[in-house]
């Protein structure tokens, strides 16, 4: 598969790095973005934007057809560990089209030195329940998660600090403070933010990686409890690699 065009399902820093490495190695690469983020960092190489479903086809069929039509030799699912739908679609579509699929996924925080001090839950709804007693929580779980917190009684009255990249699609309660920014974040800034807000609970997804990990050390040092939403299960039978170098080796 070392000459075949590569489709990268992207939307992550890892996908950007992989596209750059493959293009640098002379490979034909197309990156696919969902098109949700307003001003995405653009990968090098060819780029397509938007889901694969149409009014006539579901996402799996659309992706399988796309793979065959453009004669991709391999697909790399480098989407975010919480983008479970597209990863499941990739597994089904690649199998249907007979195209090899590998996954590039950053290691999670299960092995973080503080991981056994955190409370782990399986969903945003479970995080809303587990964090019910907090008064000034800091939510770093993404704009798509906010509705689940607001569905739970009491959350609208908390002094919530919310940090998101793009603006939420729903109105937020007056007591909630919205911060719009994109990582990476450093330890000092994270500590200052939580200290100034009087944060009494940090809520995060197990996004993994280093870009957003400083908040975990800052929370520990401030004595702020941490609530972590665990990753959804990965599709079975898809070889997974943690680094660009490992994917390059697998593709060669």
Distance between CA atoms of residues 200 and 159, nearest Å: 10
Distance between CA atoms of residues 73 and 75, nearest Å: 7
Provide the minimum distance between the beta carbon of 150 and ligand NAP in the complex, in angstroms, as a whole number.
18
Options 27-35, 168-176, 208-216, 223-231: segment touching ligand NAP (CB under 6 A) = 27-35
Provide the minimum distance between the beta carbon of 149 and ligand NAP in the complex, in angstroms, as a whole number.
15
Provide the minimum distance between the beta carbon of 74 and ligand NAP in the complex, in angstroms, as a whole number.
16
Residue 120 β-bridge partners: 228
Assigned token pair, 103 = 């996954």
Regarding 32 and contact with ligand NAP (CB under 6 A), the answer is yes
Assigned token pair, 83 = 């983008």
CB 156 within 8 A of CB 173: yes
What are the phi and psi torsion angles at 188 (to 5°)? -60, -45
- Closest to ligand NAP by CB, 74 vs 191, is 74
Please provide the DSSP assignment of 100-151 as one string: -EEEE----STTSTTGGGSEEESSHHHHHHHTTT-SSEEEES-GGGHHHHHH
CB 251 within 8 A of CB 6: yes
- Closest to ligand NAP by CB, 32 vs 244, is 32
Interface map 51-70 toward ligand NAP (x if CB under 6 A): xxx-----x--x--------
CB 128 within 8 A of CB 151: yes
Interface map 73-112 toward ligand NAP (x if CB under 6 A): ------xx-xxxxx--x-----------------------
- Closest to ligand NAP by CB, 136 vs 232, is 232
Applying CB under 6 A, the site for ligand NAP has a residue count of 22
Interface map 139-168 toward ligand NAP (x if CB under 6 A): ---x--------------------------
CA distances from 220 to 194, 216, 238 (A): 11, 6, 35
Number of CB atoms found within 10 A of residue 51's CB? 16
Provide the minimum distance between the beta carbon of 205 and ligand NAP in the complex, in angstroms, as a whole number.
6
Provide the minimum distance between the beta carbon of 86 and ligand NAP in the complex, in angstroms, as a whole number.
4
- Closest to ligand NAP by CB, 86 vs 201, is 86
Regarding 216 and contact with ligand NAP (CB under 6 A), the answer is no
Which residues form the interface with ligand NAP (CB under 6 A)? 9-12, 32-34, 36, 51-53, 59, 62, 79-80, 82-86, 89, 142
């Amino acid at each position: 598969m070392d000459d075949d065009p590569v489709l990268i399902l992207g939307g992550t820093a890892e996908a950007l790095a992989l596209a750059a490495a493959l293009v640098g190695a002379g490979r034909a690469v197309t990156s696919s973005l969902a098109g949700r983020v307003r001003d995405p960092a653009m990968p090098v190489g060819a780029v397509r934007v938007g889901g694969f479903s149409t009014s006539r086809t579901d996402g799996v069929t659309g992706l399988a057809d796309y793979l065959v039509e453009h004669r991709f030799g391999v697909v790399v699912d480098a989407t975010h560990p919480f983008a479970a739908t597209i990863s499941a679609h990739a597994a089904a579509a690649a199998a249907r089209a007979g195209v090899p699929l590998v996954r590039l996924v950053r290691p999670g925080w299960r092995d973080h030195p503080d991981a056994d001090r955190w409370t782990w839950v399986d969903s945003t709804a479970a995080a809303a329940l587990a964090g019910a007693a907090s008064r000034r929580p800091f939510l770093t779980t993404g704009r798509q998660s906010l509705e689940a917190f607001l569905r739970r009684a009491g959350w609208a009255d908390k002094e919530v600090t919310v940090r998101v990249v793009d603006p939420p699609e729903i109105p937020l309660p007056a007591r909630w403070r919205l911060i719009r920014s994109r990582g990476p974040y450093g330890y000092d800034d994270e500590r200052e933010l939580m200290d100034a807000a009087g944060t009494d609970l940090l809520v995060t997804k197990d996004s993994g990686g280093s870009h957003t990990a400083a908040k975990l050390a800052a929370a520990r040092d401030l004595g702020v409890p941490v609530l972590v939403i665990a990753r959804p299960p990965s599709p079975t039978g898809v070889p997974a690699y943690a680094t660009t170098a490992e994917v390059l080796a697998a593709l060669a």
